[in-house]
Amino acid sequence: MLVTGGAGFIGSHACVELLDHGYEVIVVDDYANSTPHVFARVERIAGRFVGAVYELDLRDRRALSAVFDRHSVDAVMHFAALKSVSGSLEAPVEYYDTNVGGTTALLRTMHEHGVHRLVFSSSGAVYGDAGPGLLDESAPVRPANPYAASKWLCEQILADVCRRRPEYTVLCMRYFNPAGAHPSGLLGEDPHGVPGNLVPYVAQVAVGRRERLHIFGGDYPTPDGTAIRDYIHVMDTVEAHRVALDHLSDGPGMRVFNIGLGQGSSVLDVVAVFSETCGVQVPYDIVPRRPGDVAHVVADASAVTLAWGWRPARNLADICRDAWRFQQLNPRGYAGAGRGPDSKR
Ligand code: UDP
């Protein structure tokens, strides 16, 4: 199994899940928002080694092709992408180039090597501002920022490929807001610089690494005025990906699934549940809305349960508890965590 972006937040948890279930795992990552230190942790949790790790940008097709030459890859989990909404507004071309260009380079390389099975990391962000209902997979797609648009472009490319080439099977996982951490506290979300995502920011405020949370917008048309999202535990997210692998042989074509909890939580809900579950205060200020954000994005995630019998097992309190454990055990994230004491190599 080739995992792109395997050093990142979701990718690293996916590596653990795959190793735990007997898969051989090969990783490519350019460490744009991650670190190779994570693999010692992955291997420690799984009690197995990652088969090989390559530092490369997917758009470097020669380097990527060499990986496919060296290993017998039967399927790909494609996580590698830039994922910040505000980053995408600042650098749209970089986002399209990395996310779309990375995906087309991967597809060309897969094609050259006769690999036709892909699990693609898409996003609930493709739905945009859809109002207060639950979004099922047939809801209209209205990406509200270049990040979301880049994911939607990738989906359309993948759908086209599947329409024209019957040998391809693609499972497109539109996940909503993955957060939390591995229950060991060894693996979690450790973005470079200031976290753009809510839960790691909250955890860094709680541990004293940042002073106050800025809540982006208190004037949304929601019950408490703050924006509502569907937070799903990262372990549930990667379990869904592993279950997806069992269904790559169900038949050719592309299928799209929402991966969410199906429950909306406002920013203030997240702060309250975090404070209550972890017994720690999270001081905050309400500031103007963040450009590119929308009021309400919550999944109807019943299709995946109907199709595969899989459903998430963890709630927002579990997300907060696990994120907090990771933050407490790693107040500075993975920084300085050498391969030394963590490593089994
Ligand atoms: N958010 C916030 N303060 C932060 C980070 C995020 O108020 O420091 C809000 C953001 O405006 C959104 C929600 O938290 O309403 C989730 O944001 P995140 O970036 O985690 O995910 P997104 O849904 O934007 O992909």
The active-site residue, picked from 23, 95, 127, 147, is: 147
- Is domain 2-329 classified as CATH 2.30.40.10? no
- Please identify every stretch of the chain with a pLDDT value under 50, giving residue numbers as ranges: 338-345
The 10 Å CB-count burial string (b at 16+, else e) for 210-221 is beebebbbbebe
Q: Is 147 a catalytic residue?
A: yes
Which residues sit with their C-beta closer than 6 Å to ligand 1? 85, 125, 177, 196-198, 201, 213-216, 227, 229, 267, 290, 293
Distance CA 49, CA 85 (A): 34
Q: What pLDDT is stored for residue 341 in this prediction?
A: 33
Structure tokens at 263: 């429950």
- For the CA of 85, the nearest atom of ligand 1: 24
Which ligand 1 atom minimizes the distance to the CA of 289?
Answer: 11
71-92 pLDDT, tens per residue?
999 999 999 999 988 899 999 9
Check residue 277 and give its pLDDT: 97
> What's the CA-to-centroid distance between 201 and ligand 1, angstroms?
9
For residue 101, the 8-state DSSP code is: I
Which of 10, 11, 7, 56 is closest to 35 using CA atoms?
7
Task: For residue 229, report the distance from its CA to the centre of ligand 1, in Å.
Answer: 8
| Cα separation, 272 vs 280, whole angstroms | 10
At residue 332, the pLDDT reads: 87
Q: Whose CA is nearest to atom 7 of ligand 1?
A: 215
Name which residue sits closest to atom 21 of ligand 1, judged by CA.
Answer: 197
Tokens found for residue 125 = 């962000």
Backbone dihedral angles phi then psi of residue 213, each to the nearest 5 degrees: -80, 135
